Amino acid sequence: MDIQDIKNRFGIIGGSPLLNRAIDIARQVAPTDMSVLITGESGSGKEVFSHIIHQMSTRKHGAFIAVNCGAIPEGTIDSELFGHEKGSFTGAHEARKGYFEVANGGTIFLDEVAELPLGTQARLLRILESGEYLRVGSSKVQKTDVRIIAATNVDVYNRVKSGKFREDLYYRLNTVPLRIPALHERKEDIYLLFRKFSADFSDKYRSPGIQLEPDAIQILSNYSWPGNVRQLKNIAEQICVLEKDRNVTAAALLNYIPNESATNLPVAINGNNKEDYTERDILYKVLFDMKKDMMELKKLVAEIIQNGGNTAHVMADNPHYINQLYQEIDQTTGHDSNTLTIKKPLQNAPVDYNYTHEAEEVEESLSLIDKESDLIKKALKKHKGKRKFAAQELGISERTLYRKIKELNLN
């Protein structure tokens, strides 16, 4: 049976090379009894490939049981898989066969196998190695002849490295790895799948057929489809039921496709223009605000010294320090701190300063708060209480001026 025959038999749509390669591997491994580990994103069709392997194997007349390991509680997973004896635990009123006993001679498909508890993994490893297992509450060894096909949408090897999955079981299951491509990896198949799904749903609901405009087809093909084929099928069904205009435009299609640009933002902004910050974003915002306030404070200190006052005499003989303040204000974060360019020199000061100041001169008079208060008062008086113009006069932001007024109790 060739690849196209398999597609027709199992209802597989698409001609992607990655898809064809996966079907070819399933076809070749099916006649053997080798364990297969199917990997792929959720909704990509892993269970379909487990049916291909079973139906094309010598076990096709035996039982096929699909088990979602992630949906069974940890306390009952062993009983479900291996069975239990009467009275083995509370509520065990009678003996029960497990899936491995029921599927003897057939195939078991373990979906989301990475979710198995470590104890259950040890029991599964024993079945893979010797075909033996114990019912819960029994010491009698049972034998089974079952082929195991496992599937997962996570990186099992990362779980092995973190100690959440047994390494020996991983290599036993991964005898033949089979990767199912995600829908965004087979863009050429997306529109074909949509046409198939929309035709099926149109027949089901007895509604007119759906046609996509060229711009809608482009949007459909370029979307990332995180939910893969399952998501595409759901959207096709919604459009068939809800759309009155059977010629679907790009604008109409966007009503059914989630906005990726909105969900991928690190900082989300809602309709009320309020920012919803993560903890990291809040930290960045605080650091940037602190840096801005520091620059404004340096500029204010330089203006205090330049314009005279109680602190001016301390550095009157040190013009080099004043210019250094201006340099730091104008510096960008990418400049080397040892390479400074004077962009705003002090009036009447020489261009070249051959003066080395002592380190203790960096920390200056404690009366800066008083001087700062006086300057703010003068600026407010000059501009008749208009804080916007006062802030411009002081060279600081209006928000910083508001905060300073509040901190200094200025009316």
The more confidently predicted of residues 38 and 316 is 38
Distance CA 150, CA 177 (A): 10
Single residue among 238, 263, 288 that ends a domain in this structure: 263
- Cα atoms in the Cβ-side hemisphere of radius 13 Å centred on 39: 13
Asked if 405 contacts 376 with a C-beta cutoff of 8 angstroms, the reply is yes
Do 174 and 191 share a domain, yes or no?
A: no
Tokens of 42: 């959720």
Domain annotation covers residue 18: yes
Q: What are phi and psi of 248, to 5 degrees?
A: -85, 125
Domain annotation covers residue 356: yes
Q: What is the model's pLDDT at position 363?
A: 47
How many separate domains does the chain show? 3
Report the percent of the chain where pLDDT is more than 70.
76
Single residue among 208, 235, 263 that ends a domain in this structure: 263
pTM of the model: 0.61
Do 71 and 203 share a domain, yes or no?
A: no
Do 253 and 294 share a domain, yes or no?
A: no
Do 22 and 154 share a domain, yes or no?
A: yes
Domain annotation covers residue 272: no
Tokens of 333: 């974060």
* pLDDT digits 0-9 by tens, 267-317: 444 444 434 445 555 666 667 677 777 777 777 777 776 666 554 444 445
DSSP 210: P
Domain annotation covers residue 193: yes
Domain annotation covers residue 270: no
Mean pLDDT for 343-353 is: 46
- Whether the predicted pLDDT of 16 surpasses 50: yes
- Whether the predicted pLDDT of 339 surpasses 80: no
* pLDDT digits 0-9 by tens, 21-34: 999 999 999 999 99
Asked if 120 contacts 79 with a C-beta cutoff of 8 angstroms, the reply is no
Q: Please say whether the dihedral angle defined by the alpha carbons of residues 130, 136, 138 and 144, taken in this order, is positive or negative.
A: negative
Asked if 313 contacts 305 with a C-beta cutoff of 8 angstroms, the reply is no
Domain membership of residue 256 as a residue range: 185-263
Distance CA 143, CA 158 (A): 32
CATH number of the domain bearing residue 134: 3.40.50.300
Do 296 and 402 share a domain, yes or no?
A: yes
Q: What is the model's pLDDT at position 81?
A: 94
CATH number of the domain bearing residue 240: 1.10.8.60
Mean pLDDT for 351-379 is: 58
Indicate the range of 14-18, 159-163, 323-327, 366-370 predicted with least confidence. 323-327
Tokens of 307: 């314009």
Domain annotation covers residue 214: yes
Average pLDDT in the chain: 81
Domain annotation covers residue 274: no
Do 117 and 193 share a domain, yes or no?
A: no
Single residue among 155, 181, 207 that ends a domain in this structure: 181
Mean pLDDT for 312-334 is: 51
Do 22 and 128 share a domain, yes or no?
A: yes
Do 139 and 234 share a domain, yes or no?
A: no
Asked if 182 contacts 190 with a C-beta cutoff of 8 angstroms, the reply is no
Do 219 and 120 share a domain, yes or no?
A: no
Distance CA 395, CA 406 (A): 18
Do 175 and 214 share a domain, yes or no?
A: no
- Whether the predicted pLDDT of 254 surpasses 80: yes
* pLDDT digits 0-9 by tens, 81-100: 999 988 888 888 888 899 99
Do 17 and 87 share a domain, yes or no?
A: yes
Closest CA to 126 of 91, 87, 93, 169: 169
Mean pLDDT for 317-338 is: 51
Do 172 and 213 share a domain, yes or no?
A: no
Domain annotation covers residue 35: yes
